[in-house]
Structure 1
Amino acid sequence: MPMITVDWLEGRSPQQKRELADALTNAFVDIAKVQKEQVWIVFRDVKRSDWAMAGVPLG
């Protein structure tokens, strides 16, 4: 069972999450030949203040 974790900055809409979940699921079905019901996806929305790039906090 594939488990996909998406870590990204907060602020995406429920519609964006639905669209991405659908696209990721379909990619696994097409490429990995798994059944749709086997694909699990977790979205983890991270505050800008909790994310850093190149040692610099974003928030």
Structure 2
Amino acid sequence: MPIVNVNMMEGRSVEQKEALIKAVAEAVMDSIGAPEENIRVIISEYSKAHWGIGTLPAHKAGR
């Protein structure tokens, strides 16, 4: 059972996350032939205050 973890900063819409899940699952199906029903995509979202870019949290780095 392929499990794909996606870590990203919060702020995307439900529709964007649904599109991401679909695209990732399709990439797994195409690349390794895994059946759709066996693929799991997990999205973990983090506050910009909890994501560092260089020496700054993302909310101070302008991201």
SS at match of 1:6: strand
The Cα shift of 1:56 comes to 1.5
Distance 1:51 1:16 in 2: 20
Partner of 1:40: 40
Partner deviation per Cα, 1:7-53 (whole Å, 9 max, x = no partner): 11101111001111111111111111100011101111100000101
Q: Give unpaired runs (5+ residues) of structure 1.
A: none
The CA RMSD over aligned residues, in Å, is 0.9
Partner of 2:50: 50
> Taking structure 2 as the reference length, what is the TM-score of the superposition?
0.86
* 1:1-59 mapped onto 2 (5 Å cutoff): 1-59=1-59
Q: Give unpaired runs (5+ residues) of structure 2.
A: none
Work out the number of aligned pairs and report it: 59
Distance 1:9 1:25 in 2: 20
The Cα shift of 1:55 comes to 2.4
* Percentage of identical aligned residues: 27
> Taking structure 1 as the reference length, what is the TM-score of the superposition?
0.91
